[in-house]
Structure 1
Amino acid sequence: MQIAINGQAGIAMGSPVKVTLLAFVVGSFLLIGISRLTGTPIRERLQDVKIGLKTDRWILLGGIFGACYVMLSAWLAPMLGTGQLIVLSLSGQLLFSTLIDQFGLFKAEKRPISVNKIIGLILMFIGVFLVHFA
């Protein structure tokens, strides 16, 4: 649903950047509300973020990749269609998660790439091609 909503919002607002800003502002207010409901002060949550950044600055990539994902979905969904974009997105996630596991990136446990994983990725990319051009 998120890709379809972002795509239509991008058309309505005339800019995927505006959609991304709106999504993150709304998300921030939601998280503030959740923090209030759970009784955890915002100051405490921000302190936890500060501690995390001291040890692993790369965790900022999560926000950067999240913003890029929302912005690209708002931009590409009207052009490619929701289904095609979801298939592409899942294919990319599977490919990069396999590489992250193979090399133990971002402190992930190393898990070697198997022949079955390679076959599965190839079939997924063939599926992307077939969905797009069929």
Structure 2
Amino acid sequence: MPTLFFALVAALAGGAVPFQGGANAALGRALGHPLWATLASLAISALCVLPLLLMLRVPLPSLAGLSGQPKWIWIGGVAGVVYVTAALVLMPKLGAASFMIAVIAGQLVAALLIDGFGGVGLAPRPVEPSRLLGTALVLAGAVIVQWPAWAR
């Protein structure tokens, strides 16, 4: 039961993503450049997290905990900028569905590599044939969704 619940929450969170891309694209047009929209979006994210930190009385982090950590722990911020900027630039060009299927295909390939090698601090998980087949089907779906645009 908890796994199903977590999967449903993840699906709901995923449902917010196309709205983020579309809204950020409109914000980029209004601000005159996609990078201003990226900065504004990330600033709004920070403004949304700050009240939660205060409400939950989360203690300040210890910067000493950062010493000796691998440098890759900072890549999440870089990945956020890459994704937000790509979404607001590419979603208007591709459409929401085409952009999202391409993003999901890329996420699945990267996730299989992370699982297979135990990347970003996660325990390695076997890349089983069923996972490869599922990823191949999503990749095929990405091609099918894009096909009409490529055929023009």
Shorter-chain TM-score above 0.5: yes
Which structure features the higher share of helix residues? 1
Per-residue deviation at 1:12? Answer: 2.4
Amino acid at match of 1:95: V
Which residue in the other structure is 2:140 paired with? 126
Q: TM-score if structure 1 supplies the norm length?
A: 0.87
Which residue in the other structure is 1:90 paired with? 104
Which of 99, 118, 135 aligns to 1:104? It is 118
Which of 81, 85, 94 aligns to 1:80? It is 94
Which residue in the other structure is 2:46 paired with? 28
Say which structure, 1 or 2, has more relative contact order (CA 8 Å, 6+ apart): 1
Amino acid at match of 1:97: A
Percentage of pairs with the same residue: 26
Which of 47, 53, 64 aligns to 2:78? It is 64
Q: Could you tell me how far apart the structure 2 residues matched to 1:40 and 1:15 are?
A: 35
In 2, are the aligned partners of 1:94 and 1:121 still within 8 Å (CA)?
Answer: yes
Q: Could you tell me how far apart the structure 2 residues matched to 1:92 and 1:83 are?
A: 14
> How far does the alpha carbon of each residue in 1:41-80 deviate from its partner, in whole angstroms, 9 at most, with x for none?
5xx13x25x5246423211001110111001101101111
Which of 5, 20, 23 aligns to 1:5? It is 23
Name structure 1 gaps, 5 residues minimum. Answer: none
Per-residue deviation at 1:103? Answer: 0.5
Q: Could you tell me how far apart the structure 2 residues matched to 1:74 and 1:131 are?
A: 19
